[in-house]
Amino acid sequence: MIDRLLETLQTKLNSRRVADPDTLRRLTKRYTPKPASTPQQSPLDYIQRIALPGGKPYNLAQHNDLTAIAEDDARIVIVRKAAQKGVTELMIRLQFYLARRGYSAAYFLRSRAYMRLLVQSRVEPVIAANKELLDALMPADDEEESDRKVPRKYRLADNVTLKRLYGATLLYMGLQSEADVRSFPLDAVFADEVETLKPELADALQERLYHSALKWERWFSQPTAVGYGIDERFQLTDQRHQLFTCDSCRAEFMLEESFPHCLGYLKDDDSPLPLGEGSGARATYLCPRCHKPFNPLAARWRWVAKYPSRSSDAHGYHLTQLYSHTMTPDEVARLYRLSLTSPNRMERFYNSVLGLPYAGGDTQPIHPDKLAYHNYPLVPINPDAPRYAGVDVGDTLSLVVIEMGDGNAWYVAAIEELQGPNKWDDLRQILQNLRVQSVGVNAMPYKDSAKKLLRDLAPRIGGAIIYDASDDAKPSAGQEDAEFGDPVPRLVYPRTELMDATVSALLSHAVHLPPRHMRETERLLKHLQNYIVERDAQGNRRYARGREDHLGRALDYALLIARSDARYIPPTALTPDNFYLPLRLEPRIL
């Protein structure tokens, strides 16, 4: 819905004429810089003089890890950062500061829609809240923008993404095509969310600066993978980190690099307890050497470059949420403990809390020693317990049945690999004998057979065909063949998220396997150990394809079908601690 809206808005805007370089130059010429009546203001003074939207003062007192970035006038500054560090707010102001010095700069995000959001929610409200900026804004040409909130005088020039402030040009652009990059000569580029920019377009940005004496580049983003995106750029810099000093033992250390040894719990008598042994106690940062409690916000620290010899080329800053007025040690400890059993969440923890790229952890996350096993032989353990089945389809039909067992854990209750001309009939027979509630069947590559199975089983046994979707797709539920009057339910789910959820459920012991010595268990273990994590060309985590992992995939589908059938999941099984997939599908869809 919002996407549609943005798309329409974008089409409308694109249909208007965008300024060509000639027009721009003409517009810029009209500016006559006022002679500076006061000595030149430092960037830090300037950006703190610009009030927040609504008029509240903006100051970096609670963000003093940002002041060095604000004052840095190196040509290239790379900021590899955790989430919510206030860098966007800072960079918007630095762009104003450059404009005041007469420099034109562009701010890039990955799409025009995102850029529009940024301009409307972060840039224009700041301009509207500051008389200095309003006065410095050149009037827009004849625009009929009277229905907009911001008075037309200081809204648009030729395009919503272009403003003229202090006579300099400010561009806000979504970086979607070569044309976006080629349009304008610039003095500075600000590239936000570098991870999401197309690498070849990001590289082309630098060419816009050739004519300028300033040639500023500011790149900032949360990282994803090692050596990709912002991390690739950060690696080429002098790599500045916050180096803290422990007042008790004088040890010097970086929080993010000594994590998790810099976090622990305090017992009631205030003696420290290592992470992992604490329950109910309050979390605190600790000196990684003497283990005395340590408060980063009150501690002495300084920026230290790992490679000072590169400082003439590019300055790099690492920003972490471990140094934060908003995120408490308790919160960090909670997120960290949750992430221990989920590769998905561990990656998010690294990226958004530590601000570090994630090396991928184990490329083979499943090891038999890490899993839980029940003591029951296969086939229904408790005839009255709800059971769900997953089927991976190929020349062999791979079947896994799970059953709700003790402690709300799923017990694997059947493992079968069916072959031969009667395999579909055999499969139907087994599912009927086991009286499963629902079955999830991989739609590909024999969709018609999968649909026939579901129709043969209905209405006593429900189910859906399941499609693996790409990782940027959203889960969805629907129907197929509704037009023929005999619909079959359909689930679409992102492949990596689905496999991650199974790995999480196994590692957190939300799923118990049959006794380890059984032949069937060995087969399932073998297939689960073929869940191999790799990176695609964009640096995204995913599981390798084409491995012998069919029984694992069958377990994926069984867990998915169980989860989408909310009637049979005890509410206690849905806490994030013991059941990992968010229940994003509508309940009772089947």
Nearer to Zn ion, 74 or 251 (CB): 251
The Cα–Cα gap between 275 and 265 comes to 6
The residue among 24 and 275 lying less far from Zn ion, judged by its C-beta, is 275
Exposure string of 69-87, with b = 16+ CB inside 10 Å and e = fewer, is bbebebebbbbbbbeebbb
CB of 408 to Zn ion, least distance (A): 43
Nearer Cβ to Zn ion (288/514): 288
Contact 192, 119 (CB under 8 A): no
Rounded CA-CA distance 384/412 in Å is 15
Q: Measured from the CB of residue 248, what is the shortest distance to Zn ion in angstroms?
A: 4
Minimum CB distance to Zn ion, residue 262 (Å): 10
Query: How many Å apart are CA 155 and CA 218, to the nearest integer?
Result: 25
In the complex with Zn ion, the residue whose CB is nearer, 289 or 447, is 289
CB 260, min distance to Zn ion, A: 16
Q: How far is the CB of 251 from Zn ion (least distance, A)?
A: 5
SS (H, E, C) 537-570: CCCCEEECCCCCCHHHHHHHHHHHHHHHCHHHCC
| Shortest reach from residue 279's CB to Zn ion, in Å | 25
By CB under 5 A, the residues from 544 to 573 that bind Zn ion are none
Q: Which helix (H) or strand (E) holds 112?
A: helix 112-118
Q: Which is nearer to Zn ion, 289 or 523 (CB)?
A: 289
Of 309-368, binders to Zn ion (CB under 5 A) are none
Instruction: Give every CB contact of residue 116 below 8 A, 6+ residues apart in sequence.
Output: 6, 9, 10, 13, 160, 161, 174
Restricted to residues 503-532, the positions that interact with Zn ion (CB under 5 A) are none
Distance between CA atoms of residues 194 and 253, nearest Å:
28
Q: Compute the least distance from the CB of residue 163 to Zn ion, in Å.
A: 50
Task: Tell me whether residue 148 or residue 289 sits nearer to Zn ion (CB atom).
Answer: 289
Interface with Zn ion, residue 263, by CB under 5 A: no
CA dist 426 → 287, 397, 416, 422, 576 (Å) = 62, 10, 10, 6, 37
Contacts of Zn ion in 242-261 (CB under 5 A): 246, 248-249, 251
CB of 291 to Zn ion, least distance (A): 7
Alpha helices in 435-487 (DSSP H): 447-457
Find out whether 551 and 417 touch, Cβ atoms under 8 Å.
yes
Question: Which of 414, 368, 388 lies closest to 527 in space, CA to CA?
Answer: 368
H or E element that contains 519: helix 519-528
Structure tokens, 43: 């960037």
Least distance in angstroms from the C-beta of 296 to Zn ion: 13
Identify the three-state secondary structure at position 9.
helix
Nearer Cβ to Zn ion (299/574): 299
- Give the contact letters, 205-244, x = binds to Zn ion (CB under 5 A), - = no: ----------------------------------------
- Residue 491: CB atoms within 10 A of its CB come to 25
403 pairs with which residues across the strands? 387, 411
d(CA 324, CA 332): 11
Q: How far is CA 466 from the centre of its chain?
A: 25
Tokens of 416: 């079968």
Structural element, H or E, at residue 535: strand 533-535
Range 264-303, binding Zn ion (CB under 5 A) = 287, 289-290
DSSP 197-225: S-HHHHHHHGGGGTT-SS-EEEEEE---B
Nearer to Zn ion by C-beta: 127 or 246? Answer: 246
Nearer to Zn ion, 96 or 265 (CB): 265
Compute the least distance from the CB of residue 293 to Zn ion, in Å.
10
Closer residue to Zn ion, CB minimum distance, 215 or 289: 289
Nearer to Zn ion, 154 or 244 (CB): 244
Report the residue number, 272 or 552, with the smaller CB distance to Zn ion. 272
Q: Give bridge partners of residue 399 from the DSSP assignment.
A: 391, 416
Smallest separation (angstroms) from Zn ion to the CB of 255: 13
Nearer to Zn ion, 245 or 449 (CB): 245
Q: How far apart are CA 386 and CA 402, in angstroms?
A: 8
Size of the site for Zn ion (CB under 5 A): 7
CB 251 within 8 A of CB 245: yes
Rounded CA-CA distance 278/264 in Å is 8
- The residues of the shown chain that bind Zn ion, judged by CB under 5 A, are 246, 248-249, 251, 287, 289-290
